[in-house]
Amino acid sequence: MLIYLPIAELSVNMFIIFGMGAAVGFLSGLFGVGGGFLLTPLLIFSGVPPVVSVATVASQIVASSASAALSYWRRKMIDMRLATVLSLAGIVGTLIGVFVFNLLHDLGQLDLIVAISYVTFLGTVGGLMLTESVRAIINARAGRPAPIRRPGHHIWIHRLPLKMRFKRSRLYVSAIPVVGLGVGIGFLGALLGIGGGFIMVPALIYLLKVPTNVVIGTSLFQIIFTSAYTTLVHATTNHTVDVVLAFLLMAGGVAGAQYGAKAGQRLRGEQLRALLALLVLAVAIRLAIDLFVTPPNLYSLSSAGLN
């Protein structure tokens, strides 16, 4: 069944879009990521303009993240203080990201920068996560004990000033890296249409040493507010949020996130990280192919919009 998207200015199959939202919502609940890193490229592959995809996906991220975060909140698996600091910092990063987004759009370089950024970030993060998770799985099967992690223990972070205590995560660290991480995630969310969970989750685990059982819920809670603010800013300044597309994606995302949250509690930490790494790398490879392979049609004719 075809439905017309007024802002994207094209017709799409509503069941396919709903299915995309449900699939990404499932991944959101499973891995603690917003899912924008996957949904934005999928929409672009489907013909939705990047400027509309980036702005609209943020609204779907809000719905799927809120649905999944509710499950973790009920189980008291969210560090509310840590999530609040990350959220406030993320709003600042969002403002910077929207400014850069508008600048690149005016220069006509937005599509290229989005593609290159996705390939770079996804390839780097996915490769690092896969290496670590495979090593952990091999050690577990060989019966070798995993190295003991001390929450919040990291040499250079431990020396930074302005320390804060996060009781739920058993951390006593400087607020500087926490704020920096939040600003960075907010910036990427506004510029690339991602929730930032695929960066937030490994950063909290490996950089700040947040316990794995708290990471996913905290990441999801932070994503709700930064993505909501991103949606608001894009809608009021750029007018690129397609409400019809957003509604279909949100409806699917809410349904899928609940099942993902339940499935995620049945898998071990290293298994979750390995699956997420493979998914991230798969998206990076797909984008790299489109970026570097010569297209079948080198030139195209289109209306210049002249009256």
With beta carbons less than 8 A apart as the criterion, state whether 248 and 18 touch: yes
Query: 3 has which bridge partners?
Result: 12
Which pLDDT belongs to residue 294? 60
Q: How far apart are CA 184 and CA 275, in angstroms?
A: 24
Q: What is the pLDDT of residue 303?
A: 45
- Model confidence over 122-153: pLDDT tens digits? 788 778 777 877 787 787 777 765 554 554 44
- Residue 237 confidence (pLDDT): 79
Closest CA to 62 of 227, 181, 278: 227
Amino acid at 110: L
Annotated domain spans of the chain = 2-292
- Nearest to 118, CA basis, from 56, 173, 40, 49: 40
Q: Where in 155-253 does DSSP place strands (E)?
A: 163-166, 171-174
Q: Which residues of the chain have pLDDT under 50?
A: 148, 151-153, 301-307
pLDDT in the model for residue 143: 72
Q: Which two tokens stand for residue 23?
A: 């699939």
Percent of the chain surpassing pLDDT 90: 0
Q: What is the largest CA-CA distance in the chain?
A: 72
